[in-house]
Amino acid sequence: MQQEVVLAMLAKEPAYGYALRARLSAALGPLGDAMNAGQIYVTLTRLEKAGLVASEEATSTEGPARKVYGLTSAGQERVGAWLAEVSWPRPDLAEFHLKLVAAAAAGLADPLAIVDQQRRELLRRLRDAQRAAMAEPDRSDAALLLEGIVLRLQADLRWLEACERNWTERRGNL
């Protein structure tokens, strides 16, 4: 589990560990089943050690004491930087998706602006790949590899279009 994802899920407001897990499950649906609860707690402990998260024992009348986790100011900074960062070749769709979810939930950034920025970056790469492909003679080995890159980038761009549609509609419904 990427640390920034856990951090971003806390950006809206502090949460118990199990509530944090519920937020992730809501955003990921069936894909979230692969995460186990232990992983999240391990990540939280690490983040706490790094000074990005602080926890408080919540006093409860019944059952065991539970910790509420919240971002420190260093944690907030890290989330801001993560939202602004454009990272693609990593094929991490879930990370990008969660970025949009977290940005919208916490009101930290406009999901559509993030989509736009990402789209520009992908178009730049597509431009490079397409130019390289156009310069190759037909049926060269390199042309085939470049075609693969172009097709993948196109698929990513199509998904971004879907993200844009979806977040535009959600904004309209607010």
Partner 1 sequence: MSDTADTPVLRTRGLRKQYGKGEVLVRAVAGVDLDVASGETVAVMGPSGCGKSTLLHVLGGLDRPSEGEVWLDGRRIDRLGEKALARMRREAVGFVFQGFHLMDELTAVENVELSALLAGNSPRAARRRATELLERVGLADRAGFLPAALSGGQRQRVAIARALCNEPRVVLADEPTGNLDSAATLDVLRLFESLHEAGHTLVIVTHDDRIAATADRLISMRDGAFVDETRLAGGTSGKLGALAGLEG
Q: Which of 127, 162, 166, 171 binds partner 1 (CB under 8 A)?
A: 127
Of 29, 30, 64, 89, the one binding partner 1 (CB under 8 A) is: 89
Residue 75: count of CB within 10 angstroms of its CB: 25
Find the shortest distance in angstroms from Cβ 116 to partner 1.
Answer: 7
Residues that bind partner 1 (rule: CB under 8 A) add up to a total of: 32
CB 153 within 8 A of CB 121: no
Closest distance of CB 109 from partner 1, Å: 17
Distance CA 32, CA 24 (A): 7
Q: Dump strand ranges (E) for 15-65.
A: 15-16, 53-58
Q: How far apart are the C-alpha atoms of 71 and 53, rounded to whole Å? A: 5
Residue 80 Cβ vs partner 1, minimum distance, rounded to whole Å: 24
Among 1, 15, 19, 150, binds partner 1 (CB under 8 A): 150
Looking at 120, 140, 162, 166, which residue binds partner 1 (CB under 8 A)? 120
| Residue 70 φ/ψ, nearest 5 degrees | -140, 165
